[in-house]
Chain A
Amino acid sequence: MPMTMIAGHEVSVDDEGFMTRYDEWDETTGAALAAAIGIEMTDEHWDAIRFMRSDYQAQGATPTIRRLSTVGGMDTKRLFTLFPKKPAKKMAYIAGLPKPAGCV
């Protein structure tokens, strides 16, 4: 498992740079990950990321866009504005969660 330095901490990541240990993440790490993919975090960004992390903790899986919308009450179009192009993937990256599982 590769390790990398994010915001001064050594953390475990997978081949694509997604963090692999839930507890190694904090909001400083999250902000650094966001900056790395060109996203400046606002309160609205953080609301989405915090929901994602708490839902992951409860469910054991990275929530899908549908879940963020139906359970988290977030507007899908807005998520595409906040995290352009691939919101689910970018949000998981920033939140230090596994890449959303592609359903087969």
Chain B
Amino acid sequence: MKNLLILGGGTAGSIAANKLRRRLPTDRWAVTVVDSDDDHRYQPGFLFVPFGTYRPDQVTRSRRRYLSGDVDLVYARIERVVPDEHVVELSDGRRLPYDALIIASGVTPRPDQTPGLLGEEWGRTIHEFYTYDGSVALARALSTWPGGRLVTSVVEMPIKCPVAPLEFAFLADSHFQERGIRDRVELTYVTPLPGAFTKPIAAKAFGSTLSDKGIDVEPDFMLMEVDPERRVLVSYDEREVPYDLLVVVPVNMGADFVAASGLGNELNLVPVDKQTLQSKAHPDVFALGDANDIPTSKAGSVAHFAIDVFVENFVEYATGRPMTHAFDGHANCFIETGHGKAMLIDFNYDTEPLPGRFPVAGLGPMSLLKQTRLNHLGKLAFEWIYWNVLLPGRPLPLPADMSLAGKRTDLLTTARS
């Protein structure tokens, strides 16, 4: 009997476990997931908790319930991986041997990495919304906030769900309008990027949405520290941005055990082949979802599309054959823009997000890089799809490879000339 060990039972770990369990013979492979608790968070919901659109109890369900009955779930903290011995050491002293290892432990916001964030003002005038506790604390703070300067600040790229801070700024604009205090709020978006996004065509579209909503952008801002007493952000090139309420997206880092195992880069991300997700250092180790270093968005959609490809490869790998499938970096993200509308982007390693139409079988085309009601409904419907289709590993009518159908590819040459 061989052991497939999956470290992390979040989006990527759960999809991989459920899909592979169906594809690997039960008399040949045991599939085991290791995670520290039973709380599976619907992370896209964290964006809506601060504005009261989602209740906190709406974002958590049982990990065990969303794993196939034939998948073992071990509740434990991971101490380290010993790749040369093909063993994972748990903090309770247990040692789990593996024949193949999947690291799916994601990334975590690390406010400790920026001086001035953690302190007495953390949870008071300084907030984040990338964790359950953070989004709940921010909901409390926003509900009674009288107005002033609200700054949304991305500390460093890459972060998971790179559009979420933009969405937060857009939703804050509508939230304050609905409360009738928008005229008492100054909104500023602070980013280390030269614009609203990394890719030029989307950056332009998001940039004009920010400016339409009266949200100021402070680009190229490499945050060095926060001065919680003076309430200013200070950049390495000595610029300052003042705030009354700071909503920060801290540095995102992979799990500490990845670093302790010598498997990570400077952000504890596992370097992998971007097409097969196989570790560059150890052929029996793979990293899925946010835990790896592939050059595309850290997003649930990427985990989903990548795993569609990875599962085919792993079945070949498990029977000693060469892996013949290649992931193209496909990402697909809804961007909430407020007032019941959203945008949609669809892209991969080679093709940046383009405007146009996005065909969905059985539903009709959705609009890319354009604010529509249908995109917003798509984003809301995704919650049901996440729990009932995506996690169980059932097929979605979306191909893993990005398609150019409907996209304004003519803009590519224009943008580059």
Residues of A within 8 A of B (CB): 15, 64-67, 70-71, 76-77, 79-80, 84-86, 101-104
Q: Mark B285-304, 1 if CB is under 8 A from A, else 0.
A: 00000000001110000000
Tell me the smallest distance from the CB of A97 to a CB of chain B, in Å.
16
Structural contact, B198 and A77, CB atoms closer than 8 A: no
Tell me the smallest distance from the CB of A70 to a CB of chain B, in Å.
4
Structural contact, A15 and B416, CB atoms closer than 8 A: yes
Structural contact, B158 and A67, CB atoms closer than 8 A: no
* Chain A CB within 8 A of B411 CB: no
Task: For chain B, residues 255 to 276, give those with C-beta under 8 angstroms from any C-beta of chain A.
Answer: 265-267
Structural contact, A104 and B162, CB atoms closer than 8 A: yes
Residues of B within 8 A of A (CB): 156-158, 162, 193, 197-199, 220, 222, 224, 236-237, 265-267, 295-297, 331, 347, 416
**Interface SS of A by simple majority:** loop
* Chain A residues within 8 Å of B265, by CB: 67
In Å, the complex CA distance between A66 and B114 comes to 12
Q: Name B347's closest neighbour in chain A (CB-CB).
A: A104
* Chain B residues within 8 Å of A15, by CB: 416
Structural contact, B266 and A71, CB atoms closer than 8 A: yes
Structural contact, B198 and A66, CB atoms closer than 8 A: no
* Chain A residues within 8 Å of B157, by CB: 102-103
Structural contact, A77 and B199, CB atoms closer than 8 A: no
- B266 partner, pick from A67, A76, A85, A102, beta carbons under 8 A: A67
Tell me the smallest distance from the CB of A88 to a CB of chain B, in Å.
9
* Chain A residues within 8 Å of B331, by CB: 104
Structural contact, A80 and B193, CB atoms closer than 8 A: no
Tell me the smallest distance from the CB of A90 to a CB of chain B, in Å.
12
Q: Quick one: which of A67, A71, A102, A104 has the most chain B CB within 10 A?
A: A104
Tell me the smallest distance from the CB of A61 to a CB of chain B, in Å.
9
In Å, the complex CA distance between A103 and B293 comes to 10
